[in-house]
Structure 1
Amino acid sequence: MSNLLSIGASGLNAAQVALTTVGNNISNVNTTGYSRQTVVQTEAISQSGGGLTIGSGVDVQSVQRAYSDFLTSALWTANSGMQRATSTNNLATTLNSALSASGNLQGALDSFYGGFSTVANTPGVASSRQSLLGSAGQMVTVFNTLSQQFTAQLSQVNAQISTTVNSINTVASNLASINSKIHAAGNSVPNDLLDQRDNLVQTLSGYMGVSAFVQSDNTISVYGSSGQALVSGDKSFALQTAPNQYDASRTEVVDSTGTVVSGKLSGGTLGALLDYRSNVLDSVQNQLGQAAVALSTSVNTQQAKGLDLNGKQGGPMFSVPAPTVLTSNLNKGSASVSASISNVSQLTGSDYTLSYDGSKWNLATTSGQNVPMTANPDGTYSADGMTLSLSGTAQAGDSFQIQPTRQAASGLTLVMTDPNGIAAAAALSATAATSNTGTGSISAVTVTDPTNAALLSGATVSFPSANSYQVTNNAGTVLASGSYAAGQTISANGWSVTPSGTPAANDKFTIGANSNGLNDTSNALALAGLADTKILNGGTQSVIDSYGTLTTSIGTVGSQAASNLTTQTSLYNQAMSAQQSVSGVNLDEEAASMVKYQQAYQASAQVISTAQTIFSSLITALHG
């Protein structure tokens, strides 16, 4: 009867373990990262005797997790993608809000350029000029505010990068600690440690893209998307943050070897922050700066081509900062670099790295695209609308970062305070001599170089014969001469004229400062026309077009981020559903299992009771 008793006891024990396991499953139905556990039972090894083999009961071999390596890895990948999409969407939403909150730059530009048309219609009315300066000031404020909003978000992104790196290090350290406990447990690893291990990897995948490999002792090794080790056995390898080598306010991510890995990380919150900063925020700041540079340069240039209400050549209306040149903190030489903008139409939205290889200077965008440079006779270099001036002695490996337009919008300033300084009139006019006998006439004098010191000094264009011309200054010095044909342009002292008709021999025209400045508004009309003048990107975009492109780009970033978030969330939900179908707790199934094991427990108890009854009967019979 001992056999029957032990069989009943083994069944009772197996049912009790199963009931305990089911109860644990039910208790953890809402526990994040919990994997459903099942009891693995095997038939006890029987011992044969007398030609018969009678069963010996049941053994509880193990309590296993319901687990799939493939589905769990897929969930980690999906989580990394969803957290990246979530962070990008949040950042893009903030960017769109900043654009709306900073004021209507489109309206401010329209009002500003429209103010020149008003001045052209009422050149002598002081209120028109004052209103134009007011519109200019409002427009500058919108430029400044929008740029400040971008800068504020950049500071927030840098802070979030530091916070995320700290979170990654904390999780990695905890994971290494769990690895240590798993290793110490040997072959009988508690399921809760394995659940904690996987849950920590799940958390880590939300911060950055990772790849994980389970070792033979059930510990796990985790690597970042750039291949750097984060966890190996009971050791974690902390990431660090450090100032950018050019810009100390810009936070970079450094691995445990001291290598900057910001450009190599992807996935998760950290990947989103780094990608957004480089590919979105830097770009929109530069685009806004391009518009500010084009506005300032074009208006100031046209101002210089006219006369103000005081009869003087027009002065600048705006100022804008020169390109920013940042020196690497790794430089060993004494070289320094300065930059200026020489051709607005050739400006791009890129930033650049100027580096010295020991024999020559090389220029590339910060994304790594080589940019050809032209060496000028004065020792400077020209590239992408910039002029670079170098001094001092460089050593191999020295480098500089150049930001042509990054600070332009925030530094745009209205420098004109006197409404009379608006140069509404053309700078020069041509007057025909009363003795002229030909049909030639000059309707307008075009200023080609407003910086020419002799621009307003006066000159005479004469035609010694119908087929020749000569330009002399007021002192009688010949400035230009040559043969002449109808429709030919004649230039000197920073201006040019194209006579119409046919001048006769000895005809003359006097070129001088416009004496009809109060009534002439041709330069104001030219200033108003800058609204449609294609200044940027090789002469294909106006300032207003450029801002339209910027708003479209920001809107596109927002819509793409929202769409990607929807997609990634769907993929995550699918991955979670698939993983939970294997590892998740189903209360209906557990309830059914509980009834089954409860009945098994009761039946095993009955077996024990039967064995006891039989044994008692035998004892009674022996004593009867």
Structure 2
Amino acid sequence: MADLLSTGVSGLLASQVGLSTVGHNISNVNTAGYTRQTTTFNARAPQYNGGYYVGQGADAVSVQRAYSQFLTQSVWSANSGQSRATQYASLTASVNNAVSGSANLQTALDGFFGAVSDLANAPVDTASRQALIGKASTLVSTFRSLSSQFQQIDQQTNQEISNSVDSINSLARSIADLNGQIQKAYAGGAAPNDLLDARDQAISQLSQVVGVNVTQGSDHMVTVSVGNGQPLVNGTDATTLSTAANQYDSSRLEVVGPGGSVISGQLGSGSLGATFDFRTNVLDPARNQLGRAAIALTDAFNQQHAQGIDLNGDAGGDFFTIGDPAVFNSTGNTGNAQVTATVTDVGKLGSADYIMRYNGTNWSVTTAAGVTVPSTGTGAAGDPILIDGLAISVPSGTPQAGDSFQIQPTRNAASTMSVAISDTSKIAASGPLAATKASGNTGKATLGALTVTNVADPAFNTPVNIVFTSPTTYTVNGGAPQTYADGDTITGNGWTLKLSGVPAANDTFTVKPAGSASGDNGNALALANVANKGVLDNGATTVGKSYSQLIAQVGTAGAQANTALDAQQSILDQAMASQQSLSGVNMDEEAANLLRFQQAYAASAQVINAANTIFDSLMTAVRG
């Protein structure tokens, strides 16, 4: 009966392990990263009893995870992709919200040019002039506000980068510590399932921040690298990443590996890689495009304003002001050269940033993305380097081989824009010339448009008398007769005048410099037309269209980001479903197992009870 008792006890103990495992599964049904565990049983070696063997019961030999390395790594990969897509869509949405917010730049542009048109209808009216300055201030505030919002998003990316690096370092340290614990646990002869789950969960969390590559050694420890192969965890050692200011722009953070090497461009998937890609592919182009529009408006409006005459009879000055392109020295420079850049041709101005490098003899220029940019000039003050509408000079200092500079032609231009005029009398609404019709004219010819074609003509300001010698001929300042037909345009020194109707002999028209407070609206009309004037892309793009391009650019990026997010979420859901079908805790299955082990436990107890009853009966018979 001792063998029957031992058999019953073995079944009792085996069932108890099974019950404990099921209970552990049920308790951890909501634990993130938990892998379902199962108990493996083996029959004990039987005892030979004459011509047959008698079984000796069962043992619980192991508790194993329902685990697939392939499915788990698929989840890690899908995690990285989904986290990247989520971060990219979220950050892109913030730019979309800024562009389409209440301070809409298109509305401000429409309001400003509407005020210019109102001024053309009442060129000497103080209220119209004051309204124009007010609308100009609103427009500038909108440019600056949108630029400020972009700058805040840029600062947000810095915070995201800093937080991500902290998370990477913390998780790497946890994985390294778990590596050591797991190695020691395996030395005891069994797999530490819960420690393995904890390590997998830490890797899963790491994969959300940055793409991971995991390999497992024969010592049961894992090696983890991130991005394009940057080692992060090797056994019980964890590499510490850090952040540092960009070598050119100190307002921006980069991720730095061991030895100070910048690895920002090597981080691949995950939320951190998405943050850098967003900054490069969405935020920077949006900021540059906004600044490009501000420069275009400033340049075109100022050029036209300079051709007019204000109420004091003076030539128009700058209506807007805007800063020059920003130039940043590399922190690695050893020379003391100073570099400056100015915009020379807005029509050729693009939206790229540039890196200028010195090799000890010559300068070379590439875009920030590394594309070589054709250039002319040596960089000397009298021979600037010319690229894409920019003139770059090295007015002082001496560069050394390896020195480099970053040039941002448009990045922060919108934030430097301001209205240069506060005195309403300084608005140059009048054209530089005025055309008048003599009061004694008897014909039906009337004045049409007086258009300035070349303000630099040496005789531009010379007064001109146009006298008709007949309905079909006229002289200019007593010169040779010229023919005329109804609707013809008369050409002067840097201007053209259109007449309509039939003049009479001796009818006279005069073109001369406009006097102060003349009431002429020629330049105001030309200023209003700046809204429709091609300024950028060699005259193909207006200021308004440039802003529309910004909206389309950001909107397209947002739509693509949302599409990518939907696709990556589907991939993650599929990977999770496959992994959970094997490793997840199914409460119905665990309930069935619980009942099965309860019944086995109770049956084993009955075996022990039967062995005890038989033994007591035997002892009673012997004593009798």
**Equivalent residue for 1:446, pick from 447, 452, 455:** 452
- What displacement does 1:385 show? 1.1
Q: How far apart are the structure 2 equivalents of 1:10 and 1:616?
A: 21
2:605 corresponds to which residue? 605
Q: How far apart are the structure 1 equivalents of 2:111 and 2:23?
A: 73
Q: How far apart are the structure 1 equivalents of 2:140 and 2:165?
A: 38
Cα distance per residue 1:112-171 (max 9 Å; x no partner): 112222222222222212211111111111111111111112112112211121111111
3-state DSSP of counterpart to 2:260: coil
Instruction: Report whether the alignment pairs 1:390 with 2:368.
Output: no
Structure 1 residue identity aligned to 2:69: D
- What displacement does 1:29 show? 1.0
- What displacement does 1:4 show? 2.8
Q: For structure 1, which segment, 613-622 or 110-119, has the greater mean C-alpha deviation from structure 2 after superposition?
A: 613-622
Structure 2 residue identity aligned to 1:268: G
Map 1:110-121; keep pairs closer than 5 Å. 110-121=110-121
| TM-score, with structure 1 as normaliser | 0.87
3-state DSSP of counterpart to 2:59: strand
3-state DSSP of counterpart to 1:370: coil
Map 1:294-443; keep pairs closer than 5 Å. 294-375=296-377, 378-391=382-395, 392-428=397-433
Q: Cα–Cα, structure 1 residues 180 and 306, in superposed 2: closer, same or farther, change >3 Å?
A: same
Q: How far apart are the structure 1 equivalents of 2:60 and 2:194?
A: 19
Q: How far apart are the structure 2 equivalents of 1:123 and 1:578?
A: 74
8 A contact 2:320–2:421 mirrored in 1? yes
- What displacement does 1:358 show? 2.5
- What displacement does 1:610 show? 3.0
Instruction: Report whether the alignment pairs 1:283 with 2:288.
Output: no
- What displacement does 1:459 show? 8.9
8 A contact 1:19–1:598 mirrored in 2? yes
Map 1:23-62; keep pairs closer than 5 Å. 23-48=23-48, 50-62=50-62
- What displacement does 1:50 show? 3.4
Cα distance per residue 1:42-96 (max 9 Å; x no partner): 2223354634233332222210011111111111112222222222232233323
Structure 1 residue identity aligned to 2:427: I
2:539 corresponds to which residue? 539
Q: How far apart are the structure 1 equivalents of 2:38 and 2:7?
A: 22
Q: How far apart are the structure 1 equivalents of 2:23 and 2:323?
A: 71
1:477 corresponds to which residue? none
- What displacement does 1:334 show? 1.8
Q: How far apart are the structure 1 equivalents of 2:449 and 2:177?
A: 87
Q: How far apart are the structure 2 equivalents of 1:148 and 1:156?
A: 12
8 A contact 2:124–2:517 mirrored in 1? no
Q: How far apart are the structure 2 equivalents of 1:516 and 1:149?
A: 43
- What displacement does 1:535 show? 0.9
Map 1:495-510; keep pairs closer than 5 Å. 495=494
Structure 2 residue identity aligned to 1:18: G
Q: Cα–Cα, structure 1 residues 368 and 491, in superposed 2: closer, same or farther, change >3 Å?
A: farther
8 A contact 2:215–2:223 mirrored in 1? yes
Q: How far apart are the structure 2 equivalents of 1:209 and 1:271?
A: 8
2:441 corresponds to which residue? none
8 A contact 1:102–1:146 mirrored in 2? no
Q: For structure 1, which segment, 330-339 or 574-583, has the greater mean C-alpha deviation from structure 2 after superposition?
A: 574-583
Q: Cα–Cα, structure 1 residues 373 and 415, in superposed 2: closer, same or farther, change >3 Å?
A: same
Cα distance per residue 1:541-569 (max 9 Å; x no partner): 11111111212223333333333333322
Identity %: 45
**Equivalent residue for 1:271, pick from 267, 270, 273:** 273
Structure 2 residue identity aligned to 1:60: A
Q: Cα–Cα, structure 1 residues 605 and 301, in superposed 2: closer, same or farther, change >3 Å?
A: same
Q: Cα–Cα, structure 1 residues 133 and 147, in superposed 2: closer, same or farther, change >3 Å?
A: same
Q: How far apart are the structure 1 equivalents of 2:459 and 2:32?
A: 79
Q: How far apart are the structure 2 equivalents of 1:233 and 1:448?
A: 77
2:241 corresponds to which residue? 239
Q: How far apart are the structure 2 equivalents of 1:178 and 1:449?
A: 79
3-state DSSP of counterpart to 2:151: helix
Structure 1 residue identity aligned to 2:34: Y
Q: For structure 1, which segment, 549-558 or 614-623, has the greater mean C-alpha deviation from structure 2 after superposition?
A: 614-623
2:14 corresponds to which residue? 14
Cα distance per residue 1:205-249 (max 9 Å; x no partner): 111111112222222211111211111111110110001111111
Give the aligned CA root-mean-square deviation in angstroms.
3.3
- What displacement does 1:344 show? 0.8
1:476 corresponds to which residue? none
8 A contact 2:434–2:520 mirrored in 1? no
Q: How far apart are the structure 2 equivalents of 1:560 and 1:65?
A: 40
- What displacement does 1:338 show? 0.4
Q: How far apart are the structure 1 equivalents of 2:454 and 2:12?
A: 104
Q: How far apart are the structure 2 equivalents of 1:567 and 1:369?
A: 32
2:232 corresponds to which residue? 230
3-state DSSP of counterpart to 2:259: coil
Q: For structure 1, which segment, 268-277 or 28-37, has the greater mean C-alpha deviation from structure 2 after superposition?
A: 268-277
Q: How far apart are the structure 1 equivalents of 2:143 and 2:219?
A: 60
Instruction: Report whether the alignment pairs 1:260 with 2:266.
Output: no
Q: Which runs of 5+ in 2 are unaligned?
A: 438-446, 467-481, 500-508
- What displacement does 1:539 show? 2.1
**Equivalent residue for 1:194, pick from 188, 193, 196:** 196
- What displacement does 1:622 show? 4.8
1:506 corresponds to which residue? none
Structure 2 residue identity aligned to 1:382: L
1:221 corresponds to which residue? 223
Q: How far apart are the structure 2 equivalents of 1:419 and 1:498?
A: 29
- What displacement does 1:369 show? 1.4
3-state DSSP of counterpart to 2:243: strand
1:210 corresponds to which residue? 212
Q: Cα–Cα, structure 1 residues 442 and 118, in superposed 2: closer, same or farther, change >3 Å?
A: closer
